[in-house]
Each structure stands twice: as structure tokens, then as C-alpha cells.
Chains A and B, each alone.
Chain A
Amino acid sequence: MTDRTAQPGRPAAAGLPEAAGADDGVRRDRQLQWLWRLLSFALVFAAWEVAGRIPISLAFPPFSETAVALVEMLFDGTLFAAYGETLRPLVVGLLLCGAMAVLFGVGMGLSETVEWFSLPIFIILQAAPMAAIIPLITFIYGIGFGAKVFAVMLMSAPIIVLNSYKGIRNTSPSLLEMSRSFMATRRQQIVKIILPHASGLIFAGLRLGAAAGVTGVVLAELLITPTGVGDLITYYRAVAEYPRMFASIASIIIFSSVTVTLLQRLEQTLFRPETRGPSGE
């Protein structure tokens, strides 16, 4: 996932006539990048295959068996049913805390009072081992849907809040001074300088928060009540169908990284055109 935003190494020659020729070079570079990426995947899978065939453990299936199990589970509907169950608390939790956590973080960044009474809470939450806290949730929220939603929020909120907070706090002092010299009001400063400047970190926080939410929901499914993907993992481990167990785990990783990548794409197309490509058009 080498992202497309990293281009500081590019010479600032985009505006010159040879830009058109350079675009071809960029395309070739991208193709090469893809080749290397595929190669690195192939290498890891090959190592996995060998390790599974030795075998290093009876509970460690080779790559091919896992892949077959994954395809089987995709087509017999097991995965879809499981994700249907897992996604509900995840989506509800992320929607509930996404907007709130951003607002909270922005508030903390803008107001010292809000910062004073809420920063410690979120730092503690971020530092606390969630797996140890999640069983505690059951005392308050029981073992149902609410508990899982809460687990998702507990995992993702601190990351989103702290990222938004840092984004606001890291506003370039020179841009603030610039806006002041052109007589911006405080409101204009917030809307036109501080928020756009922080948007990168805020979106990064939302992405990481979504990934943490996936962790939260799976932890809850493993530790509170087995449902969805957590149930699949627990069940296939219990009946010693290791390829399927590994396929379930792999599916979570794939799901999580695809979600994060999609969120990044969405952010780039909707909000940050300047990070999209070299031409910026």
C-alpha cells in the first residue's frame, strides 16, 4: 500500500512542457510497482505453502488449502452470513462514534477547557489494554448487540479523537499568521485554515479508527458471545478445521485493509484533490 500521496521526491517540474512525456514514465513506474507488489505477495504465499507442507504444526495449513477454504466459504455463503452479523455492530459503532469523536477532537484542539477535562480520558483509553477491558463491558451492557457496539466505539474513539486533536494542534503557525495579516476573523481561521489543515490527520484518524473498530468487533465476538466472524474462528478451531479457521482470519485482514484503502480513495476524491495525482486536474 505505498500510497500515491508520497511525491516529495518528484522534481517540481510538473508545470514544464515535458510533463506529458513524464506522465508516461510515471505510468511505467506504477506498472513496475504493481509487479513488485505481486511478487512480494507471491513470495510470502510460497513461504507459507512450504511451511504448511513441512508441516511446522498440525494446526498450520498450507496456503493452497487455506485459499481453497476461503473460496469455498465465499461460495457456500458462510462468509456472507458471518459478515452480515459482524458488520451490524461495526457500522453502527463507527457511525455513532465517527462524527462524535471528530467533533470532540476538534473541540479539544480549539479550546483549552475542553482539552483540560477530556484529554486524559482518551490518553488512558488509548493506553489501556482493550482485551482486558472488554469483558468488563458485559457487566454494564450485557452480552448483546449493545456490548459489541460499545466495544467498537471503545477501540476506535480514542484514535479518532486524538488524531483530530493533533491535527488541530499542529496547524502551521505561519498559515495562521498569514490569515491574520489578511485580517481573517477567528471563524474564518477555523473554517478556511485550521480545519482544512487538520483534515489529513482527521481522515487518517478515521481510517485507523475504522481498522481499530474491526479489531474491536472481532475481540467482542471472541470474548463476549461468539457471533459472526468471531464465531467462525472459534467454531473451526473447536472442530479442528484449520484451513477454514485460517481462511476466516485471512478474510478479516483482507476486509480490514480493503476498507481502509477504500476510505482513503474516498477521501482523496471527495476532499483532497491536491493529493490525488501529479497534475492536480
Chain B
Amino acid sequence: MLNAVKTASEGEMPEMSQPIVEVRGIGKRYPGGVEALRDVSLDFPAGKLTTLLGPSGCGKTTLLKIIAGLIEPSSGEIYVKGKRTDGPGPERAFVFQDFALMPWATVLRNVAFGLELRGMPKRQREEIARRCIAEVNLAGFENRYPHELSGGMRQRVGLARALAVDADILMMDEPFASVDEQTRRKFQEDLLKLLEVEKKTVIFVTHSIEEAVYVSDQIVLLSPRPGTVSRIVRPALHRGGDVEELRRDKAYLDCVDEIWQVLKQYLA
């Protein structure tokens, strides 16, 4: 790795597993000359939650969409499970910031949509969809339409849709940006619980430091335009205990402060 790796707290670096996604020298220049990313190299360990964190305009969403194969990079390569990729793949599933739900389809059809595109028979895909809907605590809403749901519920539908295709890698683009604070906290906790069961690799974009520290195994701090990796932080938090306690934990607060010290310098 090209960039210095530092730990958040004084304890030794937590063991990181094999990378499932490798980003090598990614750069992105938009037509018109805006350089969004420059020479970004990163490893995403399997089974861990990695957050891309940075001020607005640091290219974190661009990087996420490049990894997802939705945006073409100007330079560099993406390797998923050791293989070079240049487009979307079945091992990656995306959760969109604006939910991207089809307004004309019920929750059930929206959740089953990824499977529908793969040509899975209706019965089978709806069975899977029902299970995923239950996993995100939306059982009973299968036949509702998106406009009948609140923002938080819509994002759960988006998450269920990504879970339904059973991808190893979940990519979430500021998934909680459009929901209120209470819903957001509840959602973060539910997400962590869900990940304990599902054993997925998650790549998560956010601009909230607290959120990043709370949910992540590894936090990648990006500098503003052009985005480069400025630091990698691995919060050594003891999870599994009481949630409220964790939010008051010294390691948690120190980590938030450390990140804030880094990001502060980017504010004009």
C-alpha cells in the first residue's frame, strides 16, 4: 500500500483478513477537467466494514461507483476477488443514497428486482424477497408501494434488494443521508446486527464522523479534490456490548476526535 497506515488507538493494529476488493492507482478526471480522484490505492478486507469518509467533493461517491463498475475510471484498476473488473458484477450489490426504488412496483417486486433481472422464476425470487424483507424488519409491507413508506422504510427496501441478490460485497452510498437522526441511529444498529449474521463485506460512504467510527472496522479518510487517501484509521472498539456504552466509550470518542483533527485541516 502506498499510503501510511496508522491506528486509531494505542493498541496494536487489529488483524485484517485477505482483501476482497483491491483498488490500484485509481484516478478520475471528468470531461471538463475536474479531477475527482488521483492515484487512489486501497484494500478492502473481506468480511469487514470499510468506510470512505471525507468532506463533500472529495470523490468518495465517485470512488464507490468506480468500484461498483458504474463509473469508468480514467486510470487504474479494480480487482474483485483477485480478478480485474470493469463493470458491475453479481458479487457486488449497491444501496443508493436516493433509494432508487421503482415507484410503480410494490415493495416485494422492488426487492426481488435484482433476481428478476437474472431471470429467476417468480415464485422462487419472491420467496427470497420475502425473507429479505423480514430481515430488514419490513414484514407486512410487501404489497405497499414506495410512496406509502417513510424515508427510513424506503432505505430498508433498498437494503433488502441488495441483500436479495446475495452478493458478497454490499456497497452503500450515504445510505442514511436522507433519513432523520433517530431513524439513522436505529438503522446503524440494525445494520451492525444484520452484518453479524450475514457475514458480508461492506463498503460504506458517509460524511458523518460519528457514523463512520460507530459502524466501521476500517475508515479511509479522503482529502478534498482531487481525492487522495489521506489516512486509514482502524477503530479498535469493543463491539458486542451495550450500544449506549459504546457511544460513550473512550476509544470511540478518541477515534472521533482523531478523525476530526485530520478533517479539520481541509476546511478552508
Contacts and interface: CB of A to CB of B under 8 A. Distances in A.
A181 B102 contact: no
Interface residues of B, number: 33
A193 B116 CA distance: 12
Contacts of B90: 183
Nearest to A175: B100
B102 A193 contact: yes
B145 interface: yes
Contacts of A181: 68-70, 88, 92-94
Contacts of B118: 183
Interface in B128-147: 140-141, 143-145, 147
B165 interface: yes
Q: What bracket does the count of chain A residues touching chain B fall in?
A: 20 to 34
A132 to B, nearest CB: 41
Contacts of A177: 70, 96, 100
Interface stretch (A23-31, A88-96, A248-256, A272-280): A272-280
A280 B142 CA distance: 11
A188 B117 contact: yes
A178 B96 contact: yes
Nearest to A271: B104
A57 interface: no
Contacts of B69: 181
A174 interface: yes
A120 interface: no
Contact of B100 (A174, A196, A199): A174
B144 A15 contact: yes
Nearest to B71: A177
B203 to A, nearest CB: 13
Interface in B96-141: 96, 98, 100, 102-106, 113-114, 116-118, 140-141
Interface of B: 68-70, 88-90, 92-94, 96, 98, 100, 102-106, 113-114, 116-118, 140-141, 143-145, 147-150, 153, 165
29 contacts: A12-B147, A12-B149, A12-B153, A15-B141, A15-B144, A15-B148, A15-B153, A175-B102, A178-B94, A178-B96, A179-B117, A180-B70, A181-B88, A182-B94, A182-B165, A183-B89, A183-B90, A183-B117, A183-B118, A188-B117, A192-B113, A196-B104, A197-B102, A274-B103, A274-B104, A274-B147, A278-B148, A280-B143, A280-B145
Given A15-B148, A183-B88, A184-B117, 16 more contacts: A12-B150, A15-B144, A177-B96, A178-B94, A178-B96, A178-B100, A181-B69, A181-B93, A182-B93, A182-B165, A183-B117, A192-B113, A193-B102, A274-B145, A280-B144, A281-B143
Closest 3 CB pairs of A and B: A178-B100, A182-B114, A181-B94
